[in-house]
A and B are shown apart, each in its own frame.
Chain A
Amino acid sequence: MNGADAIIKCLSAEGVKVVFGYPGVAICPFYNSILQSDIQTVLVRTEQNAAHAASGMARMTGKPGVCAVTSGPGATNVITGIATAFADSIPLIVITGQVNSELLGSDVFQEADITGAVESFVKYSYLVKNVQDIPRIFKEAFHIANTGRKGPVLIDVPIDIQNASVKSFSYPEEVSLRTYKPTVKGHVVQIKKVIKELEKAKKPIICAGGGVLLSNAEENLRLFAEKHNIPVVSTMMGIGVMPTKHPLYFGMVGNNGKAYANKAMNESDLLIMVGARVADRAVSQPDLITQNKILVHMDVDPAEIGKNAGPTIPLVGDAKHIFEEFLNQEFECEHDDWLKILNEYKVSLAPKRNPNPKYVDPAAFITELSEKMKDDGVYVADVGQNQIWSCGYHIVKEGRFLTSGGMGTMGYSIPAAMGAKLADKKRQVIAVCGDGSFQMSMMELATIRQHNIPVKIIVLKNNYLGMVRQYQHFTYKDQYSVVDLSGSPDLEKLSAAYDIPFLRLNNMDKVTETIETFLEKDETMMLECLIDPMDLV
């Protein structure tokens, strides 16, 4: 057995089913050993998408997604994917090949100091220097990636370590890290304090972030909200915490969110912020959520609490455990008027659009699409105007909504959808992107074909980098600079080249039957929707 065999044994012991990647010489021992296992390999068409695909898989399985790339440019290409996962706290194990350990530091062919380069985007990283350390390092890496505040862990393995012989292999059962013991249980005193405030509150609200989904706390949160009739809003990463049409759900907050959601959050007298970073897109003025209200900030990462807004009651711990504890406590809170007010806001502050009938109205299209999607379908939104429309008009039933919220990485949706589909082949998975973001990962159409991953792709095409065009419209009075997407390929011909069935919607005339055809079979299909180039979110 060599080091590469040992790595594969570690992955098998962790129950890894799929590895996304792109080989090169420095990772060849790994890709040779993987042939002896039943782990599926997926050859992406650029390394960044290996990390995105692993991220999509991780978000569906709740286990770290795994990708493996070669040294040098392979490793540096994967950085954007790592940073994207880091920003959204998605657990990943990124394995990078490295040059011979004796040559490290001598700038030989395809050498890159990847552990140094990714330092600020990983939860932790390893450079394996001794082949005997492989089992311990992998055990630790999986543990670190998927506990506490989750995140990517990178393991850099020089080729000579992959080839070195291993005397004996045993996968450790326990992890012993003296520097890493994340707090899971919420402090009892703090929980009591929150309940005391809830009893007094007249306008309580919960703002749920992506951390709720990462800790599988959505059911407990919903039960708690229902038990005490507490309204819920969410951040972009928190979409899907509650079904969109749940009577207690009042939409996404933030500068791209619903006006009534922001008003609800700002007018509340008790705000429970859970698993959210209080970053600028969700809360543009942190002062507003600390003034005239009690702010309870719950997060598994103590450093998030007080970083952007000083809470009245900090509560460190895992959201699932904390809501379980909340559910065990008996108390009363009365605030029927509050819900009445919020429901009035929902009507009076509903977004108003004036769609151009010559084109597809993205809002109406997305609403109809999500109504026709399977109840547990997975909607993967890309980045740009399309993302804001998706957040605003997609209706989550029992499914999932995946997007790159923290980093806002264009091109995320197609590879992430591939990962999500491979995680659960029974589920319907749809990637929705713009024509800009589509072209950032359209090379993955080959991966979809090669590995027969039946994800569905929707391209909302407006021939512009719409989000930037919109910014230039408002900020520079329509002086457009470098946002025109002329020269983009004919998507019908492109689909034909990849042997992918293609549909086009020019306007709303045949929207219902087109969506039905598009969703009918569990196979890859592309649907192009022509959007008014001047449309705004």
Chain B
Amino acid sequence: MKKIYSVLVENRSGVLCKVAGLFSRRCFNIDSLTVGETDDSAVSCMTIVSSGNERTIEQIEKQLNKKLDVIKVKTFDEEKSISRELMLIKVKYNKNNRRDILETCDMMKAQIVDMSKTQMMIQVCDIPEKTKLFIQMLASISIVEVARTGTLALQKCSDSDN
């Protein structure tokens, strides 16, 4: 079972290490982990995607709540959230495959953000499945390097405070 944890933490040194250490010590999976400051500079938001059985999912939330640097933990399913991943992908191109690449980018709503005579850099910002799919689509082309942010997610909008 896949779960997304949106974890508000104190923006202090060592907190990322404590949270990551908790996952490794208790043998919980981390599929992806992203962290950044929120609108309040004293608070950071970590988005952690993890998977496990029901007991593990519950333990992760409880153990996160036990950490004194954790302010709030929200757990939600993928379908109840809006998730995005940003990917930068650098590929080699030539005049034979240039058109194909551009077509793929067009179909996948990806942008070319940098270019040289032999390489181009493509930016994809989409749900994680689409970024994965994009890599597959370019599999026949020579990929130089890839950088991904991992999943960012927030619970869908509602009219209650949560």
Give bound CA distance, A116 to B59, whole Å. 23
Interchain CB contact (< 8 A) of B68 among A180, A302, A306, A307 = A180
Question: Complex: how many Å from CA A301 to CA B68?
Answer: 13
User: In this complex, what residue of A is CB-closest to B72?
Assistant: A179
Closest beta carbon of chain B to A86's beta carbon, Å: 12
Whether A347 is near chain B, meaning CB under 8 Å from some CB there, is no
Q: Which residues of A contact B36 (CB under 8 A)?
A: none
Number of contacting residues on B, CB 8 A? 18
Q: Is the beta-carbon distance between A303 and B17 smaller than 8 angstroms? A: no
B144 to chain A, nearest CB (A): 34
User: A119 and B21: CB pair below 8 A?
Assistant: yes
Beta-carbon contact of B71 and A303 below 8 Å: no
A124-B71 in contact (CB<8A): no
- The reply to whether the CB of A189 lies closer than 8 angstroms to some CB of chain B is no
User: Could you give, for residues 303-314 of chain A, a 1 whenever the CB lies within 8 Å of some chain B CB and a 0 otherwise?
Assistant: 100110010000
Contacts of A144 in B (CB 8 A): 68
Q: Does A178 contact B (CB under 8 A)?
A: yes
**Binary flags per residue of A231-274, CB closer than 8 Å to B gives 1, else 0:** 00000000000000000000000000000000000000000000
CB-defined contacts of A179 to chain B, threshold 8 Å:
10, 67-71
Contact of B55 among A177, A178, A310 (CB under 8 A): A310
Judge whether A301 and B66 touch: CB under 8 Å.
yes
Flag whether B117 is at the interface (Cβ < 8 A).
Answer: no
Do A302 and B62 touch (CB < 8 A)?
Answer: yes
CA distance A306 to B53 in the complex (A): 13
Q: 1/0 per position for B16-40, CB-CB distance to A under 8 A?
A: 0110010001000000000000000
Interface check B63, CB cutoff 8 A: yes
Residue of A nearest to B21 (CB): A119
Chain A residues, Cβ within 8 Å of B67 = 179
The reply on A120 being an interface residue by CB < 8 A is: yes
A116 to B18, CA, bound (A): 9
**Chain A residue at smallest Cβ distance from B64:** A303
Chain A: how many interface residues by the 8 Å CB criterion?
17
Residue among B10, B55, B59, B66 with max Cβ neighbours from chain A (10 Å): B66
Output the residue of A124, A177, A179, A310 with the most chain B CB within 10 A: A179
Chain A residues closer than 8 Å to B21, beta-carbon distance = 119-120
The reply to whether the CB of A115 lies closer than 8 angstroms to some CB of chain B is: yes
Min CB–CB distance A68 → chain B (angstroms) = 22
Chain B 82-109 against A: per-residue CB contact (8 Å), 1 yes, 0 no?
Answer: 0000000000000000000000000000
Instruction: Name the residue of chain B whose CB is nearest to the CB of A120.
Output: B25
The winner among A124, A144, A303 for most chain B CB atoms within 10 A is A303
- The reply to whether the CB of B77 lies closer than 8 angstroms to some CB of chain A is no
Give bound CA distance, A307 to B66, whole Å: 13
Instruction: Find chain A residues with CB under 8 A from B66 CB.
Output: 301, 303
Interface 1/0 per residue, B104-129 and A, CB below 8 Å: 00000000000000000000000000
Closest to B59 in A: A307
Q: Given the complex of chains A and B, what is the CA–CA distance between A116 and B10 in angstroms?
A: 17
Q: Which residues of B contact A124 (CB under 8 A)?
A: 68
Q: Judge if A320 is at the interface, Cβ distance under 8 Å.
A: no
Query: Does residue A139 face the partner (Cβ distance < 8 Å to B)?
Result: no
Given contacts A115-B14, A119-B17, contact A303 B68 (CB under 8 A): no
A297 within 8 A of B: no
The answer to whether A303 and B62 have CB atoms under 8 Å apart is: yes
Q: Which of B10, B63, B68 has the most CB of A within 10 A?
A: B68
> Does residue B75 face the partner (Cβ distance < 8 Å to A)?
no
Q: Verify if B65 is at the interface (C-beta below 8 Å from A).
A: yes
Compute how far the CA of A306 lies from the CA of B55 in the bound complex, rounded to whole angstroms. 7
Provide the residues of chain A in CB contact with B17, threshold 8 Å.
Answer: 116, 119
Q: Whole-angstrom distance between the alpha carbons of A302 and B18 in the complex? A: 19
In the assembled complex, the CB of B121 is this many whole angstroms from the nearest CB of chain A, namely 35
A394 within 8 A of B: no
- Least CB distance from A17 to B in Å reads 27
How distant is the Cα of A275 from the Cα of B125 in the complex, in angstroms?
49
Query: A177 near B68 (CB under 8 angstroms)?
Result: yes
Whether the pair B10, A303 counts as a contact (CB closer than 8 A) is no
B71: A residues at CB distance < 8 A: 178-179
Measured in the bound complex, the distance between the Cα atoms of B71 and A178 in whole Å is 7
Query: Which residues of chain B are within 8 angstroms of A150 by Cβ–Cβ distance?
Result: none
| A123 contacts the other chain (CB 8 A) | yes
Known: A307-B59, A310-B55. A302 touches B65 (CB 8 A): yes
Complex alpha-carbon distance, A202 and B18, angstroms: 46
A120-B21, A178-B71 known; A303+B65 contact, CB < 8 A:
yes
Which 6 pairs, one residue from A and one from B, show the smallest C-beta to C-beta distance? A303-B62, A124-B68, A120-B25, A179-B71, A180-B68, A303-B66
11 contacts between A and B (CB under 8 A): A119-B21, A120-B21, A124-B68, A179-B10, A179-B70, A180-B68, A303-B59, A303-B63, A303-B66, A306-B55, A306-B62
A residues engaging B (CB < 8 A)?
Answer: 115-116, 119-120, 123-124, 144, 177-180, 301-303, 306-307, 310
**Seed contacts A123-B68, A306-B58; 10 additional CB < 8 Å A-B pairs:** A115-B14, A116-B17, A119-B18, A144-B68, A179-B10, A179-B67, A301-B66, A302-B65, A303-B62, A310-B55
